[in-house]
Structure 1
Amino acid sequence: MTRFVMNKKDDLVDSALDGMIYASPWGNLVRLEVDPHIRIVMRKDWQKQQVALISGGGSGHEPAHAGFIGKGMLTAAVCGDVFASPSVDAVYNAIIHLTGEAGCLLIVKNYTGDRLNFGLAAEKARKAGFHVNMVIVGDDVALPDNPQPRGVAGTLLVHKVAGFVAERGEDLAAVTEAAEAASRAIATMGVALSSCHLPDEESGERVPPGSVEIGLGIHGEPGIDQLKTQNSQQIAQALLEKVMPEHDQPRALLVNNLGGMSALEMSLVTRDLIESPLSQGCDYLIGPAPLMTALDMKGYSVTCMTLTPLFEEAICAPVEVTGWVNAVKITPLQSVKATKQASEHRAQPSDNPAVARSVNAICDTLIASESELNKLDAQVGDGDTGSTFAAGARQIKRECADRHLPLNALPELLAVVGERLATVMGGSSGVLMAIFFTAAAQQLAEGDALPAALQQGLEKMKEYGGAKPGDRTLIDALQPAIEALVAGKPLAAAADAAQQGSDATASMGQAKAGRSSYLNSANLNGVPDPGAVAVARVFAALNSL
């Protein structure tokens, strides 16, 4: 089964190019319509007054190459099918229609199809009277003994330098010389955890789990070696050993997402690349970003460019293209020192036997109910409600026994309980109970009676937690119990209301909060909500004192 979202495979590239044109923030891209089988994207503002810069190749490397068309970079891109060179006719038509008296420079990645098709088109254009030069980029250092190194992400730096020189109006010889010098100044190495997947094709995963492949090509060509590690620092070290020059000249690093790496991973590898001893002295960072991808390949490449004053000025110059990201000066990380503020509520321990009995009754009830509540939750959730409540209860019971609680100051007691539950219970349940007790403590401190304070705690729990009565949560038991107390009814009435609310959850066919909300009514029917059961048992225990 294909991993691609598409309509028809034959329309994939054309439709994708249209999407890139729509998305250009400068509205400066157009299609050059010469033939249905030829795909040329060009600058809308092109007047042939400067040297034309034309690149291209197989599609599947987006944003390369159409994403680098615009003021300061390419004039046009000639796009082939996925991983297939554009035809000679396509390249020839781009040259003929875009080249003026200043001439044209073709920037070509070093692959056989691209070299041949762009080369023959250049020869035909010269025969027709056009001034055409061609620079072949081979920045891949994975195979140092190969006389034809592949052109990969470093090609974009050649685009940038040539585009800068052409934009300021220099002649074809100067633009060509700058592009050739830039090509000699770059080295690129890639790594991946998996290869790419082609439209309508299944690609086998040749990289073993826990390993990465070093030096693979942007069309999924096998790499030169496999490292039995996924440690980001070790991988960064292996790449930098291949691309970093021995001299101490200024350098720039281009960090390219090959298509399938998450933003989190790319930020991590960028940090590892910059902080490696091998890259100390690098001046600029370009990326991390998807610049020259390999469809959905999960990997990245790093390019090192040795800088000259011209190259430095060129990579920092502004452009009007979609795919380029601004070069940033690498500077040491800085932080702002601050003193950690303790959030712990400091309260003086005090004794109150009656309150201690209530606290212990609540804790003992929840601890004794642990297994049964877990069994209920296993039917409608993840099976840990009992353990979560019991963990909080054990902590409070322990502190009560050790005389660490402010039992004779109810606002202080509720505030401390709220803090402990947030720490010990964990997950959303702990935070919700902490909100409940913390808000209630605040209202008590402001002079409210206990029932009104508890009601305010309930309202805050509903506000932040998002649940309400009827959503099949502990609120279905807690709210009626508190409402009974606020109405001046005795604790026995509150306990009855809590039990009725708990029982009602068993017939609620749909949960609207918590993990139970992901289950259908068949799974919930007849099973009460474990949180509501816990609340009902706590009120029953208090009533029995």
Structure 2
Amino acid sequence: MSTFFMNDRKNLVNDAIEGVILASPHKNLARLEVDPAIRIVVRKGWDKQKVALVSGGGSGHEPAHVGFVGKGMLTAAVCGDVFASPSVDAVLNAIVAVTGEAGCLLIVKNYTGDRLNFGLAAERAKSLGYQVDLVMVGDDISLPDNKQPRGIAGTALVHKVAGWAAEQGQSLAEVKALAQRAINATATIGVAMAGCHLPGEKGDEADRIAPGTVELGLGIHGEPGVSTLETQNSREIVATLVEKLQGAVDAQARLALLVNNLGGTSPLEMAQITKEVAGSAIAPAVEYLIGPAHLVSALDMKGFSLSAIALDETLEQALKAEVECAGWQPLVKLEAAPSQPAEKVSQRVEVTPSENAQVGQVVATVTQTLIDLEDALNKLDAQVGDGDTGSTFASGAKAIFDLNQQGKLPQDDLADLFALVGDRLAVVMGGSSGVLMSIFFTAAGKQIQEGGDLASALLAGLQQMKHYGGADKGDRTLIDALQPALEALEQGGDLAAAAQAAKEGAEATAAMQKANAGRSAYLSSNSLDGIKDPGAVAVERVFEALANA
């Protein structure tokens, strides 16, 4: 089964190119109308008096290469199918379309197909009278003894340096020389915990990497890595990559470091990786960060690469120059992460313990009832939720029970008592339940402090809980039992009347076919039919216990 959003596999690259052009923030891209099988994106309004820069290769490495077309970078990008080099004709047409007397430099990643097709196109263009030269990017250091190192994410750095030189009006020879200087100064190493999935294919090969491990040195077309690391720890992986980079670049040089997302790594993880880089052994030499971002990706590969380029004054100036293309990321000075001092805000409730035997007994009854109900409520919740309602209520009840037993509650001051209960429940009860009950008691305490009676204060607390929680009576929650009980008290009823109202409210939830809050909201009516809401049952049993006390 394909893991791609697409319409027609045959038109995937064409459609993607159109999407990139439509979304171009600088509105400076156009597709050459040459042949439907030839995919060339060019910079609009190009001045042929300057050296043209043409790059490209297989698609699937977005934003490379179309994302680097624009002022200060590429003049044209030639796009092959996914992971397939563009044809000789496609490259030749790109050269002819953008090249004037100043000439054209081809920037090619060191893969056989690209070398051959771009190389032959260059020779044919020369035979037509065009001045064309070529540089080959081979920044991959995963195989140090390889005579033909692959061109990977460092290619974007070469695009940037050469683009600056061309924009300055330098000659073809000068642009090529500076591009080659950038190539010689650049090293890249990548790692992934999963390969990439090809459009329209099952992608079993992408899942070959064993759980808990990563492969070092995967190619950007999904080629297997050169070794396996028995870890997925970000700090350990970055340390391994950094060690290899330090052995490949000038140990005395100032560096710019590109943190490149290979396609399938989340922004959260990329931020973590960037933090690890900033604390790694190479950090003292790093003057600038580029990214974290997608620059040269490998479809949805779950991995990243690090590219280091040794800076001199010219390369630094070239990399820092502004461009008009969507794919490039500006350099950021690597500095210690700033922090700003601030005083911690705390609203811990300070109260004076006091005694009131009647209130103490009510607290004991409520809390002991909820503690005793833990297993029963968990079993009930396991049918309609995640099975933890009993434990959640019991944890809060146990904390208040202990304070009551230790004589630490302001039993004779209901405003303070409710404020303290609200404060503790927000700390000891898990999930949203703790926050909701905290809101309930805190708001009720405030109402009592302002002179309200107990029943109206509890209803005010309920109203605030409904306001912030979003649930209401009829939504199959504890409110279906709590609201009728509190309304019975407000209307002058005793605890027996409140208990009866809570019981009827809880029983009503068993007939409700749809929950509109909590985990039960994701269940079908068949899963809920005939089962009381656990929160409503908790309220029912508490009022029953109070009425019988």
TM-score by length of 2: 0.98
CA-to-aligned-CA distance 1:471-501 (integer Å, 9 cap, x gap): 0000011111122222333333222211111
CA-to-aligned-CA distance 1:360-418 (integer Å, 9 cap, x gap): 11112112222221221111111221121112111111110100111111011001111
CA-to-aligned-CA distance 1:230-256 (integer Å, 9 cap, x gap): 111111011111122242221100010
- 2:36 aligned partner: 36
Q: Determine the C-alpha separation between the residues in 2 that align with 1:49 and 1:471.
A: 71
What is the deviation of 1:48? 1.5
- 2:181 aligned partner: 181
What is the deviation of 1:454? 1.0
- 2:323 aligned partner: 319
- 2:387 aligned partner: 383
Q: Determine the C-alpha separation between the residues in 2 that align with 1:372 and 1:107.
A: 70
Distance 1:170 1:246, change over 3 A: closer
Contact 2:53 2:105 in 1 (8 A): yes
What is the deviation of 1:178? 0.9
Residue 231 (1) aligns with residue 263 (2): no
For 1:207, which of 206, 209, 225 is the aligned residue? 209
CA-to-aligned-CA distance 1:218-239 (integer Å, 9 cap, x gap): 0111111101011111110111
Residue 538 (1) aligns with residue 539 (2): no
Name the SS of the counterpart of 1:507 in structure 2.
Answer: coil
Q: Determine the C-alpha separation between the residues in 2 that align with 1:9 and 1:223.
A: 28
- 1:87 aligned partner: 87
Name the SS of the counterpart of 1:133 in structure 2.
Answer: strand
For 1:329, which of 325, 329, 333 is the aligned residue? 333
- 1:414 aligned partner: 418
Q: Determine the C-alpha separation between the residues in 2 that align with 1:292 and 1:128.
A: 32
- 1:526 aligned partner: 530
Matching of residues 491-506 of structure 1 within 5 Å: 491-506=495-510
CA-to-aligned-CA distance 1:65-118 (integer Å, 9 cap, x gap): 000111110011000011110000000000011101111111000111101110
CA-to-aligned-CA distance 1:149-195 (integer Å, 9 cap, x gap): 10000010010011111112122111111111111110000000011
Name the SS of the counterpart of 2:422 in structure 1.
Answer: helix
Q: Determine the C-alpha separation between the residues in 2 that align with 1:416 and 1:162.
A: 67
Q: Determine the C-alpha separation between the residues in 2 that align with 1:47 and 1:23.
A: 23
What is the deviation of 1:544? 2.4
- 1:444 aligned partner: 448
The more displaced of 467-476 and 307-316 is 307-316
Q: Determine the C-alpha separation between the residues in 1 that align with 2:60 and 2:543.
A: 64
Matching of residues 286-305 of structure 1 within 5 Å: 286-305=290-309
The more displaced of 452-461 and 181-190 is 452-461
What is the deviation of 1:339? 3.2
For 2:267, which of 255, 258, 263 is the aligned residue? 263
Q: Determine the C-alpha separation between the residues in 2 that align with 1:501 and 1:49.
A: 83
What is the deviation of 1:442? 1.2
Contact 1:196 1:203 in 2 (8 A): no
Amino acid at match of 2:375: S
The more displaced of 333-342 and 235-244 is 333-342
Q: Determine the C-alpha separation between the residues in 2 that align with 1:280 and 1:233.
A: 17
CA-to-aligned-CA distance 1:188-226 (integer Å, 9 cap, x gap): 000000111112222322211111100111011111110
Matching of residues 242-257 of structure 1 within 5 Å: 242-244=244-246, 245-257=249-261
- 1:477 aligned partner: 481
Name the SS of the counterpart of 2:257 in structure 1.
Answer: strand
Q: Determine the C-alpha separation between the residues in 1 that align with 2:4 and 2:391.
A: 44
- 1:197 aligned partner: 197
Amino acid at match of 2:241: L
TM-score by length of 1: 0.98
Residue 350 (1) aligns with residue 361 (2): no
- 1:154 aligned partner: 154
Residue 222 (1) aligns with residue 224 (2): yes
What is the deviation of 1:280? 1.6
Contact 2:258 2:292 in 1 (8 A): yes
Gap regions ≥5 residues in structure 1 = none
- 2:462 aligned partner: 458
Q: Determine the C-alpha separation between the residues in 1 that align with 2:209 and 2:50.
A: 47
Contact 2:422 2:437 in 1 (8 A): yes
The more displaced of 2-11 and 53-62 is 2-11
Contact 2:61 2:298 in 1 (8 A): yes
What is the deviation of 1:128? 0.6
Q: Determine the C-alpha separation between the residues in 1 that align with 2:76 and 2:463.
A: 62
Instruction: Count residues with an aligned counterpart.
Output: 545
Contact 1:66 1:77 in 2 (8 A): yes
Contact 2:250 2:310 in 1 (8 A): no
CA-to-aligned-CA distance 1:250-307 (integer Å, 9 cap, x gap): 1100010000101111111111112102332210000000110111110000000000
Amino acid at match of 2:16: A
Contact 1:96 1:125 in 2 (8 A): yes
**Identity between Structure 1 and Structure 2 (%):** 60
- 2:517 aligned partner: 513
Q: Determine the C-alpha separation between the residues in 2 that align with 1:28 and 1:246.
A: 38
- 2:3 aligned partner: 3
- 1:124 aligned partner: 124
Q: Determine the C-alpha separation between the residues in 1 that align with 2:204 and 2:297.
A: 17
Amino acid at match of 1:203: D
Q: Determine the C-alpha separation between the residues in 1 that align with 2:191 and 2:225.
A: 8
Q: Determine the C-alpha separation between the residues in 1 that align with 2:322 and 2:483.
A: 61
Matching of residues 92-131 of structure 1 within 5 Å: 92-131=92-131
Name the SS of the counterpart of 1:277 in structure 2.
Answer: coil
Contact 1:108 1:137 in 2 (8 A): yes
The more displaced of 283-292 and 384-393 is 384-393
Gap regions ≥5 residues in structure 2 = none
- 2:164 aligned partner: 164
Contact 1:139 1:188 in 2 (8 A): yes
The more displaced of 254-263 and 390-399 is 390-399
What is the deviation of 1:341? 3.0
What is the deviation of 1:45? 2.1
Contact 1:240 1:279 in 2 (8 A): no
Amino acid at match of 2:263: G
Q: Determine the C-alpha separation between the residues in 2 that align with 1:189 and 1:148.
A: 15
Matching of residues 129-140 of structure 1 within 5 Å: 129-140=129-140
Contact 2:242 2:281 in 1 (8 A): no
Amino acid at match of 1:436: F
What is the deviation of 1:53? 0.6
